[in-house]
Amino acid sequence: MLNYKLTTLPNGLKLITAPLENTKAVTVLFLIGVGSRYENKNLNGISHFLEHLFFKGTKKRPKTLDIAKALDAVGASYNAFTSEEHTGFFVRAASEHFELALDILFDMLYNSAFLSEEIEREKGVIVEEINMYQDLPQSYISEVAKQLFYGDQPLGWQTTGLKETVQKFSREDFVSYRDKFYTPENMIVAVAGGKNNVSWQEKIQEFFAKVEAKRKEEYLKIKENQTKPGLKMHFKKTDQAHLILGFRTPARSDKRRPVLKVLNNLFGETMSSRLFTEVREKRGLAYYVSSEMADFQDTGIFGASAGVDILRAKEAVKVILEEFNKLKTKDISAEELKRAKENLKGRMYLGLEESFAVAEFLAEQQLFWGKIEHPEEIISKYEKVTASDIKKFAKEYFVPKNLNLAMISPFKNTNEFEKILERF
């Protein structure tokens, strides 16, 4: 069993400590319950931009280089990430440098200078990041799919924001947004790794003692009113057609999530999965092909993604749709089901070998579910999934009113793809 302790400080901050044996490394992770879906239209992209700005200097460490030098001097690994529903900052270092890691992360989040010249300079960096993703169809197809599934709602907007929006942000926007969302009640601090002679809990309490509690902000609930298959074609001169073909699925909290996890594994998560075997190995239609879940607090997407020869794009869509249909019409063998469960079990344990993975595993559960389950509890839920459960789920959700196809390609006429979807 994974050994951890959950403590709630008087100001609402959730602190998770997980001492690990046989390691001299430690990860300090700050996870905040804010992301692009908490933004309004004028501030689209500010969560991601703010993540960048936190590295641009504080009162104590005025320049980016000061932060980098302090961490590089002890061989630390550090980074940050922004999604639709959370933002994270972490430092991995030798256990003896726990206090330095904590001090720098806290300093960045609560004492950042937000200098106007740094903001203006970083606008150029963000714009180039947006350009980079738009030039990478394999990555940008996810944004096209979100636009198709959720339209003009925060979940349908780009996490990076649009170039014209990003260039209008002011210092006041960043300070206000930070003060609104980077509050103790909206934050998890997780520490995992080898212990040193310092009490993790006491040190964190010292840092956060004067940070005041504030009311946690809510996100805008998603509106979904799809009634027939949807299609969004993003025109780009490419040699491949990059696609995501998927369905609307339940929210992250749905009790059938273990069913979808097992389904996903056997369908397209591995090199022996149905999609990989049928699309790549048997037919040579794609180099990359897989399936994945994107689940949120009030909705979800399950889809297959692939990059295929533009001359065989229609064939690829038909083949993938047929694989979805088989989940509804044909029984899953006991052997295939067992293999998927064992794979998930192995992935779970392999994924928790390193301190960052443990910190993230614990913090994300607490942030998204308000509770933490041990790996064994999660695996137990996978074990209970039956072939009948998977077929029942597929019949309920893999239907025309939930179906969407997003594609980046040089195609201008979408009629033939629309007809393929209509026949599902």
Task: Residue 360: name the closest of 54, 69, 87 by CA.
Answer: 87
| 263 neighbors 336 (Cβ within 8 angstroms) | no
Tell me if residue 364 is catalytic: no
Task: Output the CA–CA distances (angstroms, integers) from residue 70 to 65, 100, 112, 350, in the order listed.
Answer: 8, 8, 16, 31
User: What tokens does 383 get?
Assistant: 């074990």
Q: What distance in Å separates the CA atoms of residue 245 and residue 231, rounded to the nearest whole number?
A: 9
Report which secondary-structure segment, H or E, holds 295: strand 286-295
Percent composition of the chain: helix, strand, coil (DSSP 3-state, to 5):
50, 20, 30
Cβ 245 vs Cβ 320: under 8 Å: yes
- Among 21, 39, 51, 117, which one carries the catalytic annotation? 51
Tokens found for residue 155: 């979940």
Q: Identify which of 90, 94, 108, 110 has the alpha carbon closest to the alpha carbon of residue 198.
A: 94
Whole-number Å distance between alpha carbons of 7 and 84: 26
How many CB atoms are closer than 10 A to CB 71? 18
Residue found under tokens 């893999």: 398
Give the pair of three-digit tokens for residue 38.
Answer: 């908490």
DSSP 200-254: HHHHHHHHHTTPPP-PPPPPPPP-----S-EEEEEE---SEEEEEEEEEE--TT-
Element (H, E) at 194: none
The vertex-199 CA angle with 32 and 69, nearest 5°, equals 60
CB 118 within 8 A of CB 60: no
Element containing residue 307 per DSSP (H, E): strand 300-309
Give the residue numbers marked as catalytic: 51
